[in-house]
Structures are given as structure tokens and as C-alpha cells.
Amino acid sequence: MDPQKILILDFGGQYNQLIARRVRECSVYCEVKPYDMSIEAIRSFDPIGIIFTGGPNSVYAPGSPQLDPEIFALGLPILGICYGCQLISHSLGGKVTAAQEDSAREYGRTETFFDTSCRLFKGLPEESVTWMSHGDYMARVPEGFALVARSANCPTVGICDENRRFYGVQFHPEVNHTRFGREMLRNFLYEICGAKGGWTMADYKNAAVRAVREKVGDGKVLLALSGGVDSSVAAALLAEAVGSQLTCVFVDHGLMRKDEGDEVEQAFSRWSINFVRVNAGERFLEKLAGVTEPEHKRKIIGQEFIRVFEEEAKKLGAVDYLAQGTIYPDVIESGKGDAAVIKSHHNVGGLPDYVDFKEIIEPLRMLFKDEVRQLGRELGLPEYLVMRQPFPGPGLGIRVIGEVTKEKLDILREADFIFRDEVASAGLTEGMSQYFAALTNMRSVGVMGDGRTYDYAIALRSVTTSDFMTADWTRIPYELLDKISSRIVNQVRGVNRVLYDITSKPPATVEFE
């Protein structure tokens, strides 16, 4: 792995993961750390530059996140974004106040003008659009700083001290709405920090395999394999590193999509690992009998998954390491003490009570989802597994609306397969972030042949998104929807109606339950 690193100090902004992704897209490694990271820890991390993120606070408010002033004496380039920009100004003798007029507050797309002699904006147009989100205003910038970006309402959109390599922008270069934002970040990395680039997933794989081997030695590793992208790539990495010392317990809860259990098992046949598949479908259905409330279903499935895993793990006796498929967004979100919990992460839902282990291994904890997929390819996992559609931990249990039964699961599996098969045949998979079928709890009258039917309605769902925080419904061609509907109604017994969900997120969520 390239030893060059960028340190991102987190002040609680909503786009902080995106900043890290943009840096890594420039082939430079980075990590997000809490804003109160000690100076000693920063020196030990040995970054080539530091980025201060945005945040919801006002820098002048009592109790707002502040910095150790010594950070400005480290001799490192610093880029402040939004709150981070205001913090640079506030910390070095400038003055930040609440905007006195509504016109000085800026939100959304804003026409912005740049001084392209500043290295941050080198090679970019002098006029472009940025994405603003600030109600505070830098009334006075610190001594030694120049004004290098402005808008119609704000003369202090961008500041810089080229001598000390300190830069600040009121807008968010990391979001797609800011034109040339990625180029600005690239300028900071390469023109200002002196990055050489070269951080690749092949390097990461080799370094991660070596690190696992060194840590594990001749010990035993246990992994709960869900069959999802994260746990599958973690399993492949561990298999590459320690081979037969790894035991993967694959709990097939009977709530997977068509043929997926067999596909997962087949994917890992190339490695000499101890692969344990537990077919527990009937057991899960018994627990779910009569349950209709979505969160109750989620908890039953999650708890039962852990119980089955514990039982299998107990048979193995003591293991040295418990592995998990935790990825970087989980780590970042978990690190925020005041963050709201939207949903529990399936892979970190709880530790088994009956597993005796020394330490947890999380080989993917520094990777984003797209990087996990790249790593999967490097490890030789099949494309159908690497590009597996996002699938919730409770599986089809929350895509069957209402009570879950074997009959409903069989119906849904076939309908969902047809939907995914037709989308793939039409070559539209790249433009659809997540797509699936759900079985509604509605039955309606229909006519098939010369007879009356009273069968279920299938709902199709497809969304397009970059971050899953918001999502827009996909404009699937009518001709394709017609073909999908016709196949489902004619080939899946128990269905006489097909619906297409055209609700975006918000107000809806991606999943139905």
C-alpha cells in the first residue's frame, strides 16, 4: 500500500464519507478520524495533508468542536471545507459571525467566481457552480490569507495562505453538484500535498493478506458468512491468507433469492476452507409464523441467525479469531456519538455468547462498498457475487409484506428472478442501483383464461442513487415493464397483477419494510 496518507478530521458533516471516497478515487489513501484526535496521534499517523470536514455547528458557539492550535504548526497542508473553512479562520485570528442578511446565507447551487492563480483552483474555469450550505459568514479573514473565491452574496467563499499551504472553501467540493469539485480536491492532493498517487486495490489486497497472516499465525478464524458482498469478500480475503485455518458458517435462513445459497457455496469451492452450510429455513419459518410487524420480523431473523451461528460455532470449540465483514461506512457512522441510528448493521448486530475467541478481525473495515467490490474481483470472486444486488440481512423476510410463509417465499423468488433476469437481458443493470420484487399483502380479482382468479399482486421496485441517502425511482422503459409483467403473470402461479413503485426516497425508503 502507498505509504502516503491524507488525514480527514470529522466535525460531524453529512458528506464526510464522500470526502474520503473522493480522495481515494484520486488513488490516494485516506482515513476519517474524530476532530479531537491528539497531536501525538496525528504525528504518528504521518499524513501528507489534512482535510477539515463540514459540520452542523457554528465555530463561535460555546461547546462547538475546536482544534488544538498546534495542528497549524505541523507544517502540513490543510484544506477546510465549510465548517472546516470557518474553523481555520476562527482559529487563526479571523472573525466568523452569523450572516446578518438572508442574502448572505447560501444554500444549494451557487454561481461562484475563482482566482485561478491559487493552486487549489489551478487549471479550472474562473466561473462555475458550487454547492453551498452555510448560514455563517467570515466577516474578517486571518492575516496572511487572500480571498480567492466569491459569489454574488459572499466575498469570502474561498481563502488561502499559499506560504503556509492553508486553504478553505465555504462550499462542498466533494458533492457532484459542485462542478470541478473533484479537480479541486485533486489539486489539493497533487499540487499542494505532493501526492504521488498509486494507491490501488491490488496493493491493498497484498498488504491485507500479509497483515492477516502475520496476525493469525497458526490460529483458527471463524466467520459468519451471510452470502452478501461484504462477508463474501471478507471470506475470500481470509481464505487467501490462511486457507484451511478458516471456518465459514453459512446460515441459509431460507429467505434468500432463487439459487443464491447454491451460488454462494459454489463460489467458495476453489479455496481449501472449512465451509459449513446450515440449512435452517424451516426453523426460521417457525419463528416467523403469525408475525406481521416489520421491525419484529427483523429482530426475530437477526436473533435466530445469531443463535444458529452460536450453535455451529460451539461445535468447533475454541477459536482464536472471530472475523466480521464490517466496512468503512459502518466504522465512520459508529464513531459519531450523537449520530441517529437508522438501522442496525446485520454484520455487527451482536457477538455470539458461546464463541470463545481472543480477538475480532475486520479485514474490510477501511474500505467503502465500491472498493470492497474491487477487492472481490482482485481475489477472483465471480462477478455475480461481487456485483450482487444490495440485499437486506433479513432477506426476503422483509420483501414479503405481512406474514412470511413458504408459499409466499416461493412466489416471490420466482417473480424476483424474472425481474432481475429481464433487466440483465436488457443490459440495464449499470443504470439501476437497486431493483427487486416484493410480494404485497394484497389479493385482487383477475381473469386468466376463462376463469376468475383471486391472487397476489407483485410490486416491482427500482431506484437510482449515488449514496442511498436519497434515491429516485428508475424510469424503466414501458416495453421492458410490459415484458416483465407478462412473464410474471404467466409463469408464476398465485400472481395476477404486477405494480411498479414510482416513489422516490424520501418520502419512501428503498425497501418496503
User: Residues with Cβ < 8 Å from 244, sequence gap 6 or more?
Assistant: 272, 273, 274
Residue 286 known to be catalytic: no
Indicate which residue of 30, 106, 134, 174 is catalytic.
174
Q: How many CB atoms lie within 10 A of CB 233?
A: 27
What does the alpha-carbon distance between residue 482 and residue 474 come to, in Å, rounded to a whole number? 15
Residue with cell 444549494: 108
Residue 174 known to be catalytic: yes
Contact 361, 221 (CB under 8 A): yes
Indicate which residue of 26, 30, 82, 160 is catalytic.
82
**Mapping DSSP to helix (H, G, I), strand (E, B) and coil, where does residue 80 land?**
strand
| Maximum alpha-carbon separation in the chain | 85
Torsion of CA 122, 123, 129, 135, to 10 degrees: 0
Cell numbers that stand for 198 in this block: 498509486
Element (H, E) at 406: helix 406-425
511: nearest Cα among 324, 297, 204, 269: 297
User: Residues with Cβ < 8 Å from 325, sequence gap 6 or more?
Assistant: 223, 226, 228, 230, 231, 232, 233, 234, 235, 347, 362, 364
Q: How many CB atoms lie within 10 A of CB 1?
A: 17
Indicate which residue of 26, 90, 118, 172 is catalytic.
172
Distances (CA, A) of 286 to 173, 217, 253, 395: 51, 42, 11, 16
Residue 172 known to be catalytic: yes
Contact 85, 113 (CB under 8 A): no
Contact 233, 372 (CB under 8 A): yes
What is the identity of the amino acid at 419? Answer: F
Positions marked active-site? 82, 172, 174
